[in-house]
Amino acid sequence: MAIFLETVTQIIAHRGDKAHYPENTLLAFRQAILAGADGLETDVHLTLDGAMVIIHDETVARTTNGSGLVGQQTLAQLRALDAGSWFAPTFKGQQIPTLQEVLTLLDDLQFTGLFNLELKTDKVDYPGIEAQVVALLTATPRAYTIVLSSFNQATLKKVHALAPQLKLASLFEVPWWTTIQLLRHHWAAGWHPDIRWLPWYQFLLPKKVILRPWTVANEKQLRYCLQHHVAGLFTDDPQLALTWRRKIQGR
């Protein structure tokens, strides 16, 4: 039985088309959109000199040829790193992008889908990141839907206080009761749980919750989400997910 009847599940590219390109690069985002993904998901940190940059980890070691914390390096230092060769030699020279560069790419491609930006404040404190992100995203009208998410409940509260019109989503593994508290206070209408949480606890879902599980990594998980018509799913391979959606939902 479907969790959400008649819902066409949005396929959201997790860090871009991560299965085929170096994650969180402009190339990965461009290729995900060209492949037909309904949405993009990415992550934002602050540099030492206050720039908003797109990278998942708190350190640069895994996805670049550098080392050290993102927040302890300047934008110029981060831009000098190679963010592509770790994935494959073909992608040598890819850079860590800024948030503004990603937004410009979305505009250039006339993107009208969902843009999910995770504020990475659950492990490192970036003072003022909420205000900077809100200021940039609300400065001009956008053709796409913006959702801001975080594992850090305090971050979501700050964003809500700054811009109550923005759509928020709570990322969580456990404890799920913190998310229920958020929904009771109307801070976050979206639930973004670990996919492993969903089959066991779906009975806890409040009515009208916007459910987008992460990271849907294999065909079994894809079938489960699509057969239950969740609002959206985050996947590393949007091309595969789109193929399964056509098979199951006919879209």
Residue pLDDT, tens place only, 81-91: 999 999 999 99
Confidence of residue 2 (pLDDT cuts 50, 70, 90): low
Alpha-carbon distance of 35 to 11, in angstroms, equals 11
Least confident of 4-13, 170-179, 235-244: 170-179
Domains of the chain, residue spans: 10-248
Q: How many helices (H) and strands (E) does the chain have?
A: 9, 9
Q: Which residues are known to be catalytic? A: 14, 56
Q: What residues pair up with 210 in beta bridges, in sequence order?
A: 190
Q: Is residue 1 over pLDDT 50?
A: no
| CATH of 10-248 given 3.50.50.60, 3.40.33.10, 3.20.20.450, 3.20.20.190 | 3.20.20.190
Least confident of 5-19, 133-147, 169-183, 223-237: 169-183
What is residue 187's predicted lDDT score, i.e. its pLDDT?
Answer: 76
pLDDT digits (tens, 9 = 90+) for 156-201: 999 999 999 999 999 988 666 766 676 676 778 899 999 998 887 7
Summarize the confidence of residues 124-142 as an average pLDDT. Answer: 97
Q: Is residue 235 over pLDDT 70?
A: yes
